[in-house]
Chains A and B, each alone.
Chain A
Amino acid sequence: MHYKAFDNIDEKKFSFVKKARYFFIFSIIITVLGIVTLGVFGLNYGVDFKAGSNVDISFKKDVSSQKAALETYLKDNGFGTPGMTFGAKRVTLRFDDVLTDTKEKALKQGIAEKFDKDASMEVNTVDVEIAKELQGNALKAVLIASIGIAIYVSIRFEWRFAVAAIVKLLHDAFIVISLFSIFRLEVNLPFIVAVLTIIGYSINDTVVIFDRIRENLRFAKLKTTEDIARVVDSSIWQTMSRSINTVMTVLFATVCLLVFGSESIRLFSIAILIGLVFGVYSSVFIASPLWLLLKSKQKPKTNVKSSAAS
Chain B
Amino acid sequence: MNRRLLTFILIIVVSLGVVGGLSKWVVDDVKLGLDLKGGFEILYEAEPIEAGGKITKESLTETAKSLEARANATGVAEPEVTTEGANRIRVKIAGVTDEAKVRDVLKKPAELTFRSARGCAADAGYCKVELRGSDFTQNGADVRQTNLNEYEITIKMKSASKFAEITREVAKLSTSGTNQLAIYLDDRMLSAPNVSSEINSTDASITGNFARAEAYDLKDTINLGALPLKLTEKYTQSVGATLGKKSLDETVEAGAIATVIILLFMMFFYRLPGIIASISIIVYIWLLLLGFNLIHATLTLPGIAAFILGIGMAVDANIIMAERIREELRSGKSILSSQKSGSKHSFRTIIDSHVTTAIAGLVLFFIGVGSVKGFAVILLLSIILSVLTNVFFSRALLTLLVRSGIVKKKSNFGVKESEVRAL
Contact = CB atoms under 8 A, between A and B. Distances in A.
Contacts of B253: 260
B254 A257 contact: yes
Contact of B367 (A122, A137, A212, A248): A137
Given A256-B261, A257-B254, A105 B372 contact: no
Grouping DSSP codes into helix (H, G, I), strand (E, B) and loop, the A interface class, with mixed when no group exceeds half, is helix
A199 B354 CA distance: 13
Contact of A207 (B103, B258, B262, B353): B353
Interface in B25-73: 35, 38, 43, 45
Contact of A149 (B269, B316, B320, B360): B360
Contacts of B248: 262
A128 B353 CA distance: 36
Given A125-B236, A127-B234, A260-B253, A120 B246 contact: yes
Given A215-B345, A250-B312, A252-B261, A2 B326 contact: yes
Given A120-B246, A249-B315, A253-B308, A134 B370 contact: yes
B236 A123 contact: yes
A102 B109 CA distance: 16
B360 A145 contact: yes
Interface string B311-329: 1110110011001001100
B82 to A, nearest CB: 15
Contacts of A140: 367
Contacts of A138: 368, 372
A149 B247 contact: no
Given A248-B265, A253-B258, A253-B312, A125 B330 contact: no
Interface string A1-45: 110100100000000000000000000000000000000000000
With a 10 A CB-CB cut-off, give which of A118, A248, A252 has the most chain B CB atoms: A252
Contacts of A81: none
Nearest to B262: A249
Contacts of A245: 265, 269, 319, 323
Contact of B254 (A123, A201, A256): A256
B363 A145 contact: yes
A145 B258 CA distance: 30
Contacts of B370: 134, 189
With a 10 A CB-CB cut-off, give which of B265, B311, B372 has the most chain A CB atoms: B372
Contact of A101 (B103, B251, B266): B103
Grouping DSSP codes into helix (H, G, I), strand (E, B) and loop, the B interface class, with mixed when no group exceeds half, is helix
A304 interface: no
B251 A265 contact: yes
A298 interface: no
Interface in B81-129: 100, 103-104, 107
Interface residues of B, number: 79
B147 to A, nearest CB: 44
A130 interface: yes
B250 A260 contact: yes
B234 A120 contact: no
A144 B367 contact: yes
A212 B349 contact: yes
22 contacts: A101-B104, A120-B244, A126-B236, A127-B233, A127-B234, A130-B43, A138-B368, A148-B360, A148-B362, A149-B359, A152-B359, A200-B357, A204-B354, A207-B356, A208-B320, A208-B353, A239-B323, A242-B320, A257-B254, A261-B250, A265-B247, A265-B305
Interface of A: 1-2, 4, 7, 56, 58, 60, 101, 104-105, 118-127, 129-130, 133-134, 137-138, 140-141, 144-145, 148-149, 152-153, 156, 165, 189-190, 192-193, 196-197, 199-201, 203-205, 207-208, 211-212, 215, 238-239, 241-242, 245-246, 248-250, 252-254, 256-257, 259-265, 268-269, 272
Shortest 8 CB-CB contacts between residues of A and residues of B: A120-B240, A120-B242, A250-B312, A256-B258, A260-B254, A145-B363, A262-B247, A120-B243
Interface of B: 35, 38, 43, 45, 100, 103-104, 107, 233-244, 246-248, 250-251, 253-255, 257-259, 261-262, 265-266, 269, 301-302, 305-306, 308-309, 311-313, 315-316, 319-320, 323, 326-327, 330, 345, 348-349, 352-357, 359-364, 367-372, 375, 379, 414-415, 419
